[in-house]
Structure 1
Amino acid sequence: MKIMEAGSRPTKKASADWFTGTVWQDPVHEAPEPARLRALRVAFEPGARTAWHSHPLGQTLHVLSGLGLVCTRGDAPRRIRPGDTVWIPPGEEHWHGAAPGTAMVHLAMQEAMDGVSADWLEHVSDEDYQRPPAG
């Protein structure tokens, strides 16, 4: 058993290669092999979002606070709120982030396959981000 004490791992600013706007990441866990789980607490400032990406083994998001958006390629964004859990199947291209005027924090959980937990693509255009949410 290993306990990772609160505050023992620094918060990191997310890479501008994979995010638009200011995003902060706190590591929750990166399991050693043969386990594959990787989890992060991700805090998006208003308007911040991921680039388009997919996950070889899928991804689960659990919203902790704020108001966010999640979008599958070809669809309109959908609103996500505290307590919502989103399952994104393997290989599905998507993005997620904060709503335009509200910050959002979620727990992102995904598994790594051959050391890869995400396949990053191009940044989400302002036009795609600003599409009216579905529903």
Structure 2
Amino acid sequence: MHTTDQILLVTEGDGIVATESEQHELTPGVVALIPANTKHWHGAKPGKSMTHWSILGPADTRIVD
């Protein structure tokens, strides 16, 4: 969870971004906006790889398991 919005820009591969209530597929060219203070997860699909840019504004960031 981040205290600022997060933008993901997928450059290669196949992935997923998910919150507690939604899940969306990520493919090259997709831009995802994750609002501040939203519990979320993003990564490659099983057996796949994914490369992306993650853009965060200046803020305190707390990473939790």
TM-score (norm 2): 0.90
* RMSD (CA atoms): 1.1
**Residue 62 of structure 1: SS of its match in structure 2?**
strand
- Where relative contact order (Cα < 8 A, 6+ residues apart) is larger, the structure is 2
Q: Is the 8 A contact 1:64 1:107 kept in 2?
A: yes
Q: Is the 8 A contact 1:61 1:85 kept in 2?
A: yes
- Which is greater in Rg? 1
Q: Quick one: distance in 2 between partners of 1:81 and 1:121? A: 26
- Deviation string 1:23-80 (CA, Å, 9 cap, x unpaired) is xxxxxxxxxxxxxxxxxxxxxxxxxxxxxxx11111000000000010012x253211
Q: Does 1:70 align with 2:17?
A: yes
Counterpart mapping for 1:1-135 below 5 A: 54-73=1-20, 75-113=21-59, 116=60, 118-122=61-65
1:56 and 1:70, CA in 2 relative to 1: closer, same or farther beyond 3 A?
same
TM-score (norm 1): 0.46
Identity fraction in percent: 32
**Residue 38 of structure 2: SS of its match in structure 1?**
coil
Structure 1: 4+ residue segments shifted above 2 A: none
> Which AA in structure 2 matches 1:70?
V
- Deviation string 1:71-127 (CA, Å, 9 cap, x unpaired) is 012x253211000000011111101000001100000000122xx2x32122xxxxx
Q: Quick one: distance in 1 between partners of 2:24 and 2:46? A: 13
Q: Which has the higher strand share?
A: 2
